[in-house]
Amino acid sequence: MGQKLNTEIDDLIAAVATSADAPETIANLKTITSRMGFEMFGYYLLPSTRKFENSILFSTYPQAWAEQYKEEKIYLADPIVDAVSARSTPFLWSELQPDPAASPQIADFFTKARAAGVLMGGSIPLRGPDTSISSLSISTDDAPPLLEALWKKERHRLHILAAYVHEQLLSQLGLGRAFMDAELSVREKECLLWTAQGKSAWVIGEILSLSQFTVEEYLAQACVKLGVRKKVHAVALAIKHNLIAI
């Protein structure tokens, strides 16, 4: 099972890594997410000021929704953008839908989205460059229970894929920080490698005979050396620059 997962992740990364430019990266992303079972996706990079005119957006969502989102400035009250800004781990949009009476603005957002054909989805927060707000979101036309089952099955691969696509696009669009040749220790590389295979810090500690705290410290050090804040992003960078191989 582990070997199969490694092969699948290798294939995903290889598909993105061979893209010559941003349009090809997005085309590969569309193919990969479709094979996973997701009909739509949206990748955006939004300045922290939320000035939509300065944003970067690639999406396969319905054109009518994209136009409405821009014309009505829905992005200014988008609860998904708020959640991406505050969170560091993937989440389903269903987690953001409280009692409509308590949060009519959020309820109105999802009502408009459903009317445009965007029924339900999930988002993966991304970081950088600087204080920009970025994410990869996916959705399907299926009922929520089916989406939740698919999300549970694919979220780890999506997380790795999103971080790698983000790094690739930043580079191709000339937006990323120049990569500095990081000197990762053997332990830092081991912890990143096991993280790439979906292992938690506690499990990695059991494998390497280390405490969970020590594993988390190694991962934090790797993030600092690679200039990122999230371990999944560190994994993507380490793979891209051949610091680890899965």
Residue 239 pLDDT: 80
Three-state DSSP class for 162?
A: helix
Residues 6+ apart with CB under 8 A from 57: 42, 43, 44, 45, 66
- Collapse the DSSP code of 237 into the 3-class scheme (helix H, G, I; strand E, B; otherwise coil) and give the result: helix
Residue pair 137/123 in contact by the 8 Å Cβ criterion: yes
Query: Residue 221 and residue 43: Cα distance in Å, rounded?
Result: 28
Q: What was the pLDDT predicted at 208? A: 93
CA distance 214 to 140: 40
pLDDT at 168: 87
The confidence score (pLDDT) of residue 50 equals: 67
pLDDT at position 41 is: 92
10: Cα separation from own chain's centroid: 17
- Residues ≥6 apart with Cβ < 8 Å to 238: 184, 189, 192, 222, 226, 244
Question: What is the set of domains in the chain, with CATH numbers?
Answer: 2-172 (3.30.450.80), 186-240 (1.10.10.10)
pLDDT means per 10 residues, the chain with 246 residues, are 55 78 90 89 80 80 86 83 87 78 78 84 84 85 81 88 88 63 81 89 93 91 80 81 76
0.75 surpassed by pTM:
no
- pLDDT tens digit string along 37-93? 898 999 988 776 667 767 888 889 888 888 888 888 888 778 888 898 888 889 998
Residues 140 and 37: beta-carbon distance below 8 Å: yes
Give residue 178's pLDDT: 39
pLDDT for the residue 122: 93
Tokens of 189: 């590389």
Which pLDDT belongs to residue 120?
85
Calpha distance 25→45 (Å, rounded): 15
The pLDDT value recorded for residue 101 is 62
Average pLDDT for the chain: 82
pLDDT score, position 182: 60
